[in-house]
Amino acid sequence: MLGQGFVSAAAIAASILFILSLGGLSNQEKAKRAVWYGIVGMAIAVLFTAFGPGIGSYWIMIPMVLIGSVIGWNIAKRVAMTEMPQLVAALHSFVGLAAVFVAWSADLERTRVASALLAGEATDRFSAFAALLVTKTPAELTFLQVEIVFAIFIGAVTFTGSVIAYGKLAGKVDGKSRQLPGGHMLNAAAAVLSLVMAIAYLNGAGFWSLLVLAALAFFIGYHLIMGIGGADMPVVVSMLNSYSGWAAAAIGFTLSNDLLIVTGALVGSSGAILSYIMCKAMNRNFVSVILGGFGGGAKGESAEIEGEQVAIDAGGVAAALNDAESVIIVPGYGMAVAQAQNSVRELTRKLRDAGKNVRFAIHPVAGRLPGHMNVLLAEAKVPYDIVMEMDEINDDFPNTDVVIVIGSNDIVNPAAQEDPNSPIAGMPVLEVWNAKQVFVSKRGQGTGYSGIENPLFFKENTRMFYGDAKSSIDSLVPLID
């Protein structure tokens, strides 16, 4: 058993490591070291909390930690990089559900302690949390109840919202915006009823009020995320990350755990900031995205697309690449699905060896997760200095000979600028159509994840390079000289 002084010192050390971890993740070159900061910080946090004062029941705690560690290790080893977004969403759901369970347990313990004190029972056999409750003033106990309410509401919304996000990212749930009849009014009604349940609980209603509150919050999480369209899913994942952090912080207050408060606040604030940055990059309204305002259809009839999609074979693409001096590659989720990042790396190597100026253009919401494409390219050991953000490279397209779009759709859609009635009108996109030639590697003629048609595919300087992205890129490599 460790003293409180050791636990407090460990909490400070872990908090510093978490801050260093978040700071390092903003830079690709420092990301691996930043991840290790987070791993070490979490190990310190778990170890010193588990062996801190007032903690017991090791006979059940240690086996559960070992079981969870083995499960986590196996999942991490088996999950492919292409499945990372849905894994992140699934992990968010665990945090939310844990917050709900801990809050329920805290209320049951609060009730048990109150009954024991009224009956005059001895308090020396109370748990650490129960002993803490005995020392609280009536005002502090009321504040504890407020914390329980927040933890249940935020945790329940996070749980079902993350489950639906997982389903959409994994293709198990339709990626389009879907809401029950009544739309936002149902969400508003559920929110009002949640407030009523919270007030009832704070005024003496029993445990049943917390169960109803959780059920209402479960519905809100489900309905909110179902109402958000596929093109906004990267923002949703980031937003749910923020929610899970605030749920953890609320539980930290409930358990009087300073480290959990700090960690939850770091996750919650960083997730919220990232969501805001991404919405700004997409020219979306943050509140509108959260409430499912995007993806439900355009304001009017979208412009008709004229022309036809013209296909090209590997020989034609390779000839254009051999003649080109500058090449920009735009990766999207199609590259992730086909696991083509290593093939792209090899093509990049061949082109650079041939003296071509090759760069990558990364849209802020490419893929299904913030930084998804950066992670895949880093895994394939593509040099960091040729991976450019949208703002850095958009002005270069007019001076580019060839652009290769690999599995991207919405982030290269000119309708965002040309069609005011498009559902993505006003969203900043990579202006690839300004290049001399554009080749789009795509499986078929279908629309993107958000279901929006792309006029780029019909432009005169665009050719469709149909097929699996990995096979298509592999077929180009031997033809580059």
Domain ranges of the chain: 1-78, 82-290, 314-479
More confident residue, 202 or 232: 202
d(CA 251, CA 260): 8
Q: Do residues 168 and 230 make contact, with C-beta atoms less than 8 angstroms apart?
A: yes
Tell which wins on pLDDT, 127 or 470.
470
Report which listed range, 171-175, 211-215, 389-393, is most confident. 211-215
- 3-state SS, 405-425, equals EECCCHHHCCHHHHCCCCCCC
Structure confidence at residue 90 (pLDDT): 87
pLDDT for residue 76: 80
Q: Quote the CA–CA distance of 369 and 237 in Å, as a whole number.
A: 7
* Rounded average pLDDT over 103-123: 79
Q: Please state the rounded mean pLDDT for residues 281-293.
A: 66
**Over residues 347-364, mean pLDDT:** 94
* pLDDT-derived band at 324, boundaries 50, 70, 90: very high
Confidence at residue 292, expressed as pLDDT on a 0 to 100 scale: 56
Distance CA 175, CA 226 (A): 8
Residue range 202-215: mean pLDDT, rounded: 93
- Distance of alpha carbon 231 from alpha carbon 275, whole angstroms: 14
Average pLDDT over residues 289-302: 53
Between 122-131, 208-217, 360-369, the lowest mean confidence (pLDDT) is in 122-131
Q: Region 35-42: what's the mean pLDDT?
A: 92
* pLDDT, position 124: 56
Predicted confidence (pLDDT) per residue in 59-92, tens digit: 888 898 899 889 988 888 887 766 777 888 888 8
Please report which helix (H) or strand (E) contains residue 438, including its range.
Answer: strand 437-442
- Supply the angle between the helices 184-202 and 207-226 in degrees, to the nearest 10: 160
Task: Please report, rounded to a whole number, the percentage of residues in the chain having pLDDT higher than 90.
Answer: 41
What is the rounded distance in angstroms from the CA atom of residue 99 to the CA atom of residue 90? 15
Q: Which two tokens stand for residue 414?
A: 């000119």
pTM score, two decimals?
0.77
Give the model's pLDDT for residue 79: 78
Does residue 374 carry a pLDDT above 90?
A: no
What integer pLDDT is reported at residue 352 of this predicted model? Answer: 95
Buried/exposed 148-157: b ≥16 CB within 10 Å, e otherwise: bbbbbbbbbb
Q: Tell which wins on pLDDT, 291 or 23.
A: 23
Integer Cα distance of 22 and 245 in angstroms: 14
Residue with the bigger pLDDT between 218 and 391: it is 218
Residue 360, pLDDT score: 96
Residue with the bigger pLDDT between 136 and 303: it is 136
Cβ contacts of residue 59 below 8 Å, gap of 6+?
none
Q: What is the mean pLDDT of residues 251-257?
A: 85
Which range, of 119-128, 213-222, 251-260, 297-306, averages the lowest pLDDT? Answer: 297-306
The pLDDT-based confidence of 298 (bands split at 50, 70, 90) is: very low
**Whose structure tokens read 């409930």?**
254
- In the set 258, 313, 401, 410, the catalytic residue is 410
* Residue 297 banded pLDDT, cuts 50, 70, 90: very low
Q: What is the pLDDT of residue 446?
A: 61
pLDDT tops 90 at residue 156: yes
pLDDT score recorded for residue 301: 60
Structure tokens at 35: 């991840």
Q: What is the pLDDT of residue 127?
A: 64
Mean pLDDT of the chain: 85
Q: What percent of the chain has pLDDT over 70?
A: 88
Look at residue 296 in the predicted model and tell me its pLDDT.
44
Instruction: Identify the top-confidence range among 81-95, 160-174, 216-230, 455-469.
Output: 455-469
Mean predicted confidence (pLDDT) in 462-469: 92
Q: Identify the pLDDT of residue 190.
A: 94
Strand partners, 165: none
Residue 435 pLDDT greater than 80, yes or no: yes
Rounded distance between C-alpha atoms, residue 84 and residue 92, angstroms: 12
Give yes or no: 410 in active site.
yes
* Domain 314-479 part of CATH 3.40.1520.20: no
pLDDT confidence bin for 123, thresholds 50/70/90: low
Instruction: Tell whether the model's pLDDT for residue 146 goes beyond 80.
Output: yes
| pLDDT for 295 | 43
**Using 50, 70 and 90 to split pLDDT, how confident is the model at 270?**
confident
Residue 48 has pLDDT above 90, yes or no: no
